[in-house]
Amino acid sequence: MLLDKPLSIEYLLDDEVERRQLTSILSLVDSIELSDRGSIRLLLKGGWGSGKTTYLRMLESFFKDYCAYPVVFINKWQRENPLIEILLKIGELQGLNPLTKSKLKTVLKPMMTSNVLLSGTFLSTLTAHVTETFEEGVKLVEELVERFTTDSRKTEVQLKAILSEIRDDYEAGKTLNVYKKWLQYLLELPVPEKQKKLFVLIFDNLDRKGYLKVVEAISTYFDVNGVLIIAALNDTDSGADVRYIESVFPISVELPHSAVNDLHIASIRHHVTNKQLTYIKETLSSLDPLPHRKWIKLIDRLENELTILKDKKTIALEKMLFTTALKELFPKVEVFSRQFPYLPDRLFVAKPETNDLDTSLLVMALEIINTDDTNFRFPSRNFEMLKEKTKVT
């Protein structure tokens, strides 16, 4: 079963489609001229299940396992202050110079305490008995704000110096088998290497709650020469301010939906003959492109059905492929069919030129299918194509 999670780098690099997409991303990064103007920021955009996390993990492996660059990957934000989260992750880097790690702790310690005490300090200042008037309390708060602002600017300078040190002095071992796989891939599809070291920050799920603080931290503290920042954004239904995020990440790559490929169907190879596998791939390839994750869910479901299917003759396989794809790709009709378990089988054998479709149940089912745009912009066309490819001859 091809689980719905990022796959191993070795597995992904064996797939031509994945290599081609990755090559375009790496080539884009390589084409960006390094300068003293600040960080390089790349945004991967795509909808649910488009493979954003998979590509982020591949990029993480390329820069860490092949290039031996310092790489920090964050996909969950557990703290109110994202800067603290990032710095803690940086402190976990295995190849960090002890002196640099000590400097990082020096910056981090007061930051963690001040973040907790800040709101309480302001409140106690406003309510303290030593201030005779509210105006005096406000003035004291303004002085505190100025002090914290000064400290923040000092932290900014210190962090930029630390990042430069990490980039220049970082030393880490390579995972030999992964390194060899990357070496083989790069020999087949050359991707020029940067002559200058990079410090790489990778953020998944940038559209999650609190993303504005993350983006602000990126802009303020990590806009440093030689720093590459790669983030993934669900730009379809996340509710995030996409335009604002794009203003911070001027370079973007859109991950489109894809046709079914060899990577998706790999897990069912041992269940069917080569001829049957070709038939399944050709049938699914006739459908409109889908997100990477949706293909995985469909093939996993198909594998389960193949496991229990004893009769793998052509008609049995066609029927199983039709009913499985129907339920997974048209979820509204699947819900409807729970009241009528025989409905998918009836849809499989029903022919437009007969009276079968005149029954109220099948007519109602077709109406549901034709309006179920959960996965397809043109559901009726895809249903007709699925039925045509699996029709009984």
- Boundaries of every domain in the chain: 9-254, 262-389
Element (H, E) at 201: strand 199-203
For residue 41, which phi and psi values (nearest 5 degrees)? Answer: -130, 120
Residue 44 has pLDDT above 60, yes or no: yes
What is the DSSP secondary structure assignment for residue 37, as one 8-state letter? T
Mean local confidence (pLDDT), 280-309: 91
Band (pLDDT 50/70/90 cuts) for residue 66 is: confident
Averaged pLDDT for residues 244-262: 87
Q: How far is CA 171 from CA 125, 230, 303, 336, 338, in A?
A: 47, 21, 44, 59, 58
Model confidence at 122: pLDDT above 50: no
Please tell me the least confidently modeled range out of 102-106, 114-118, 286-290, 306-310: 114-118
- Given a cut of 50, whether residue 25 has pLDDT beyond it is yes
Predicted local distance difference test score (pLDDT) of residue 164: 86
Q: Radius of gyration (Cα) for the chain, nearest Å?
A: 27
Q: What is the arithmetic mean of pLDDT over 133-154? A: 57
Strand partners for 158: none
Is the pLDDT score of 143 beyond 80? no
CB 233 within 8 A of CB 47: no
User: For residue 104, which phi and psi values (nearest 5 degrees)?
Assistant: -65, -40
Four-CA torsion 298, 302, 305, 307, nearest 10 degrees = -130
pLDDT recorded at residue 133: 60
Residue 48: pLDDT band (50, 70, 90) is confident
Bridge partners, 201 (sequence order): 72, 229
- The token pair at 206 is 């940038």
pLDDT at residue 192 tops 60: no
Alpha helices in the chain (DSSP H): 9-13, 16-31, 52-61, 82-91, 98-127, 134-169, 176-188, 211-221, 242-248, 262-265, 274-285, 292-308, 314-329, 331-337, 343-349, 360-371, 379-389
The more confidently predicted of residues 383 and 291 is 383
Q: In which band, very low, low, confident or very high, does the pLDDT at 337 lie, cut at 50, 70 and 90?
A: very high
Q: What is the pLDDT of residue 77?
A: 80
Greater confidence (299 vs 94) lies with 299
What is the token pair recorded at 32?
A: 């960006």
Beta bridge partners of 290: 258
DSSP character string of 224-254: -TTEEEEEEEETTTS---HHHHHHH--EEEE
What is the average pLDDT value for the chain, to the nearest integer? 80
CA distance 110 to 108: 6
70: exposed, middle or buried (C-beta count within 10 Å: 0-12, 13-18, 19+)? buried
Q: How confident is the model at residue 121 (pLDDT cuts 50, 70, 90)?
A: very low
pLDDT for residue 27: 77
56-64: average pLDDT: 89
Residue 119: pLDDT above 50? no
Query: What's the confidence (pLDDT) of residue 382?
Result: 96
Q: Residue 333 corresponds to which tokens in the numbers above? A: 């009709």
Higher pLDDT, 24 or 272: 272
pLDDT band, residue 2 (cuts 50/70/90) = very low
